[in-house]
Chains A and B, each alone.
Chain A
């Protein structure tokens, strides 16, 4: 028997890259809309805009592949960098006044991710709460805490170490972009070649079958929740670094773009299907759309509507090309 069927290999790649022609069309449209589009600085700007989103898309994709989802990633994306910033910023710039060492602040960010992920994982997987309603409630809670503590203000004047990920560049490209690319690459390799990655596909495809095969389904799924929340916290840190502040609204409504990018990128909401390479094309598409809308003189009040329409069109195209998504 043939080891691999060439048809499947081609089909799989085709499925992952459905969005590439759409992206090409968008780039063409972008260059027509505004000559600024094809400048290096603008393209880096696009990538930087997509970088923080991309971190959360990687995170959500991992959870989606195991057949669950987590809406509260956007809450973690906002609250984790806020808590860290709050503890290190002076009172004058809306900090708590404790003025901790920035490195301690960074540790706090990761701890918040760890704590939220563990909490979500334990309650959704072990206590069997419905993932939708539970993580929705968590999201509302986390965002509410963020707003309540800040009282609508912005924490600014953050130390260099704290904003390094979002503000610095390596070889002319912002660190955030490198980091997001690394996260996608690591996730792709892990999912493809690591036994836990393969077990995640097995779990998403048929949880009970994976359990009956001796795969530690609960441990892996909880672990995925934790890793995802950590990634979301790091994504939030990148966002904070980019604007060198944490706003009360950081993360709000982010999750819709995250789901949109993952799903138009071919990650199945049912679990077990899709690759992060596809999700990456989804992120690129969304970042391009946002950028082009900004460059063309679309009124900012209309951006959401156009955004939504373009996601629908992308879904329709994916369906037409014959890959089952959404």
Chain B
């Protein structure tokens, strides 16, 4: 199956992207040291590493946003164009980032041909022709998407498709996918894999960045591991075991704990802390219908479901971010006023929101300030003046518990790595010493070691008698849970009362295939 479009390169080069002994430093930080990596046409090459290992820097070199200090970048077999020549870069390489780059108010066709005339046209836009070409492109690559649709109405998956289609139509045959599955549900992930296969068959080379190692075994042929800016392992996926891969990523860090959890004895649990009754919420992010749920002290209830199943909506409603249509939420047996985060958090609830960039922190402020945002009233005197001493004490304690790596406590959170940013978000919730902790995907998009630190912190909170409601679609998170509740399309459909969880059964329940016992 040959799928070269008319704008593609005439001949197929040996590599679509190549880094030869590249090094890059930012100030005193050696982001990349002597890294060599090639991506061949028709190959999916996995790039893995912990946050801060240098993956993002390598991507900036490959996409022409930075120039290597030493070494060379080659694209489509030729030396890379100058940084100023954006057009030349776009015609050779494209990166689909975690955050969408489509322009919402424009149609799909306009997004595909953004800032670029359809072939043989001047500055005047021929709408009919643009739509036709966009449509043809979609057909050619087998993308099922309406080109007249407004991009604002697209799902995350469809936005990715638009970005990929745009890159292909410019002629790029080197595609970098940066955590493409982070925001996709299971079925969409499968479709993505299918598309990646089709792209490979069409001669596209893919550099695939992901924290989900099982995905790499599913769709990649080669894998390269970065650690502290160095390439520590590279080879065929079939020759490298998952354990070896993790060892290469983590380096000399302590071995990971067993993934199964012991069943927590029921008599060690305290009274009911959080009780949700007949919760019904209408939400675009996934509506909720008649959900009953209770969490006791010392218990960690995992609320599991696909994206859009309503699990995150339950969490948002519990903390007061969304007003439910019906139902009640009680903490320590007395109801909380719905729809007020302030009122709910004052009742001893800690909250780790789903999207750290959207709701997690104020990027320009320091680690210490962000860690104490939920306890401003506690670190202030009776006139409201903040005690710097108290702030530092709380911030230092949380930074130590969660092993936050920062130059200093007043370093702006925007300049921390993703894993450390997430630790700040969790620390902000724990700093209030909550009796109920509501956490939504607390380990999404962080490296293995950060994940361990975050899950350890949640487990410790649980052992100290906090009632934890953990919403997650990452099965690894569930090892700190004592009980699982599964939601499908807004309703509770299954419960698992004690671990270790049977992965197969759990997946079936989450997918709504069968109701587990």
Contacts and interface: CB of A to CB of B under 8 A. Distances in A.
Interface in B339-387: 341-342, 344-346, 351, 353, 358-366, 368-370, 373-374, 376-377, 379-380, 384-386
Interface residues of A, number: 29
A210 B407 contact: no
Given A209-B362, A211-B321, A212-B319, 11 more contacts: A2-B407, A4-B409, A4-B410, A194-B386, A195-B380, A205-B364, A209-B359, A209-B361, A212-B321, A213-B428, A214-B374
Interface string A182-215: 0000000000011110110110111011111111
Contacts of B432: 214
B408 interface: yes
A193, A199, A206, A216: which has the most chain B beta carbons within 10 Å? A206
A196 B383 CA distance: 11
B369 A195 contact: no
A66 to B, nearest CB: 12
A210 B408 contact: no
Nearest to B408: A5
Contacts of A213: 345, 351, 373-374, 428
Dominant SS at the A interface? helix
Query: 5 closest A-B pairs (Cβ-Cβ)?
Result: A205-B362, A214-B345, A5-B408, A213-B373, A195-B376
A201 B408 contact: no
Contacts of A202: 362, 365, 369-370, 373
Given A3-B409, A5-B411, A216 B365 contact: no
Contacts of A196: 384
B399 interface: yes
Given A198-B376, A213-B428, A206 B361 contact: yes
Contacts of B368: 3
Contact of B358 (A194, A208, A214, A272): A208
B386 A273 contact: no
B341 A212 contact: yes
Contact of A212 (B351, B366, B392, B399): B351
Interface string B287-326: 0000000000000000000000000000000010100000
A212 to B, nearest CB: 4
A212 B432 CA distance: 13
B347 to A, nearest CB: 10
B364 A273 contact: yes
B396 interface: yes
A215 B362 contact: no
B365 A1 contact: no
A1 B362 contact: no
Contacts of A201: 362, 364-365, 369
Contacts of B379: 195
Contacts of A2: 407-409
B156 interface: no
B183 interface: no
Interface string B317-337: 001010000000000000000
B342 A214 contact: yes
Given A2-B407, A211-B321, A205 B365 contact: yes
A4 B392 CA distance: 10
15 contacts: A1-B406, A1-B407, A1-B408, A1-B409, A4-B410, A5-B410, A194-B380, A194-B385, A195-B380, A195-B384, A205-B362, A206-B358, A208-B358, A209-B353, A214-B351
